[in-house]
């Protein structure tokens, strides 16, 4: 029989191998009671976690029962937040069901600020004639907007996103305007849409040398070959216009049709073969349109301008005084104008254009100078022509050709030529260079070519005569003219720029 110490040792060994609770009770009954309490508490906590979440868990009550009041308050807030998110996630519905059950959803506590804002909206709707109950229902629907972020946007939001921008034109596109100029030498078309006030964006352009006035100075009528070339070019213009929605257009014919005996007959043929209706404009209208086309080039530091357009059968000159209050339309400042019955085609046919000598060139200059001497109002600008704020402005192919040669362009570039300045010495130097070239050298120059090689020196002679009557140290080059003037007047009369400003204001707001 074993003594008590031996039994205790055996019990310890058995407890180590078979279980610790029996050993604890056998060794220290008081300590075993404490561990039993902790074991029961752990079991109750596990049961609370596994049970359905019908309210606050018991562990939360125990946490709130201990600690400071601030700690208990923060614990309750955390618990409410977790429970609320779980409820929302469980009850999330599609947008349609959410809108249908908007009245049944709890809205929570409403702050005073939101309450006042809702009251103001209700009052505003009542003032606009909306019934009070309708206003209140709308306010509640706005207040009960779904707060869950994991669903698709409402159908109304999609429709708003698909609505057109208010800045777009009423017809969906910017309006188009067209201008056609059938001159003695060229047939030109320009299609553009208005942008900023006084400006437009070119959509399509066409230009072809047709020599409609070829032989007109000797026969007094348009030749069959010349009319055929012009009609073929006008057919291209017709096709270009037919493919676009043109809001306004103006098609004009100038000196060749004006002075030809069969000018009206030719326009009837054009109408029959192309469907285009051209109008013959007088010389004053031609001069005004040339000025209107260059309005944006004349700056506010200018007091006076002599603007000239050297054409194929005539040359228009306008004297402009802008020393006083400036009007947006440059044509309103014309103080005098004249139209010379001579252009590059008629002058070259009379004095020769292929083999031009210094003597024949001087004869052309003298002839044009004599025509200018008949212009009684040539001195109406008075002392303004002696001011440094005075300059010449040329809109013809002659001055653009001189500018391209002066720049040494390997290919004509309108962007570099339009609006550039040339000094008086530069113009003289370029004219002398052209006089030193023979016909083949002029043809080889990329800024002249075969179509203008026999006409460019005649244009230089007209330019020299103008410079003798109105000497100036500065010449402003403009690659624009009648077409731009037509477009400017069409858009201005139609209020195109005013509509654009209104559309832009709506877009900003």
- One pLDDT digit (tens) per residue for the chain, 509 residues: 444 444 343 433 333 333 333 433 434 444 445 455 555 555 555 554 444 444 444 444 454 455 677 777 777 777 776 555 555 555 555 544 444 444 444 444 556 778 888 887 777 776 655 555 444 544 444 444 333 333 333 444 443 343 333 334 444 578 999 999 999 999 999 999 999 888 899 999 999 999 999 999 899 999 999 999 999 999 999 999 998 999 999 999 999 999 999 999 999 999 999 999 999 999 999 999 999 999 889 999 999 999 999 999 999 999 999 998 888 789 999 999 999 999 999 999 999 999 999 999 999 999 999 999 999 999 999 999 999 999 999 998 999 999 999 999 999 999 999 999 999 999 999 999 999 999 999 999 999 999 999 999 999 999 999 999 999 999 999 999 999 999 999 999 988 877 655 555 444 44
User: CB–CB of 405/445 below 8 Å?
Assistant: yes
CA–centroid distance for 298 within its chain: 24
Q: What is the pTM of this model?
A: 0.65
CA distance 290 to 306: 12
Q: φ, ψ for residue 188 (rounded to 5)?
A: -130, 140
CA torsion through residues 267, 268, 273, 279, sign? positive
Q: Which pLDDT belongs to residue 186? A: 95
Same fold, 176-281 and 294-494: yes
Q: Where are the domains of the chain?
A: 176-281, 294-494
**CB burial string 434-452: b at 16+ within 10 A, e below:** beebeeeebeebebbeeeb
CA distance 185 to 311: 8
CATH architecture designation of domain 176-281 = 2-Layer Sandwich (3.30)
CATH class, domain 294-494, is alpha beta
């Amino acid at each position: 029989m074993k003594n008590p110490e031996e039994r205790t040792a055996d019990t310890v060994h058995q407890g180590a191998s078979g279980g610790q609770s029996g050993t604890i009770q056998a060794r220290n009954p008081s300590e075993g009671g404490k561990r039993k309490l902790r074991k029961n508490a752990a079991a109750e906590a596990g049961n609370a976690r596994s049970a359905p979440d019908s309210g606050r868990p018991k562990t939360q009550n125990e946490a709130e029962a201990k600690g400071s009041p601030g700690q208990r308050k923060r614990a309750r807030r955390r618990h409410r937040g977790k429970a609320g998110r779980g409820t929302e996630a469980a009850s999330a519905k599609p947008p349609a069901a959410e809108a249908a059950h908007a009245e049944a959803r709890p809205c929570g506590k409403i702050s005073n600020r939101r309450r006042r804002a809702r009251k103001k909206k209700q009052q505003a709707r009542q003032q606009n004639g909306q019934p009070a109950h309708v206003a209140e229902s709308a306010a509640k629907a706005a207040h009960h907007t779904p707060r869950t972020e994991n669903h698709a946007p409402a159908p109304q939001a999609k429709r708003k996103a698909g609505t057109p921008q208010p800045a777009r034109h009423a017809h969906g596109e910017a309006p188009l305007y067209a201008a056609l100029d059938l001159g003695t030498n060229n047939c030109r078309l320009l299609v553009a849409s208005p942008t900023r006030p006084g400006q437009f964006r070119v959509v399509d352009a066409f230009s072809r040398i047709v020599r409609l006035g070829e032989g007109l100075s000797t026969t007094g009528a348009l030749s069959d070959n010349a009319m055929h070339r012009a009609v073929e070019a006008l057919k291209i213009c017709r096709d270009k216009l037919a493919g676009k929605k043109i809001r306004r257009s103006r098609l004009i014919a100038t000196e060749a049709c004006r002075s030809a005996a069969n000018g009206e007959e030719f326009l009837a043929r054009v109408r029959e073969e192309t469907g285009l209706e051209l109008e013959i404009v007088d010389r004053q209208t031609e001069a005004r349109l040339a000025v209107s086309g260059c309005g944006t080039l004349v700056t506010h530091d200018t007091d006076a301008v002599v603007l000239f357009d050297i054409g194929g059968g005539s040359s228009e000159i306008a004297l402009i005084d802008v020393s006083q209050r400036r009007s947006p339309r440059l044509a309103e400042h014309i103080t005098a104008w004249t139209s010379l019955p001579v252009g590059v085609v008629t002058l070259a046919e009379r004095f020769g254009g292929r083999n031009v000598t210094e003597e024949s060139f001087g004869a052309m200059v003298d002839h044009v100078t004599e025509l200018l001497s008949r212009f009684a109002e040539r001195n109406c600008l008075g002392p303004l022509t002696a001011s440094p704020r005075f300059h010449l402005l040329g809109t013809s192919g002659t001055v653009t050709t001189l500018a391209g040669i002066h720049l040494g362009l390997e290919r004509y570039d309108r962007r570099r030529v339009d609006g550039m300045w040339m000094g008086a010495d530069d113009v003289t130097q370029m004219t002398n260079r052209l006089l030193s070239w023979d016909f083949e050298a002029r043809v080889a120059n990329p800024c002249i070519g075969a179509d203008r090689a026999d006409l460019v020196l005649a244009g230089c002679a007209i330019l020299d005569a103008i410079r003798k009557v109105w000497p100036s140290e500065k010449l402003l080059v403009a690659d624009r003219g009648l077409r731009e003037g037509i477009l400017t007047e069409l858009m201005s009369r139609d209020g195109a720029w005013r509509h654009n400003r209104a559309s832009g204001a709506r877009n900003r707001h």
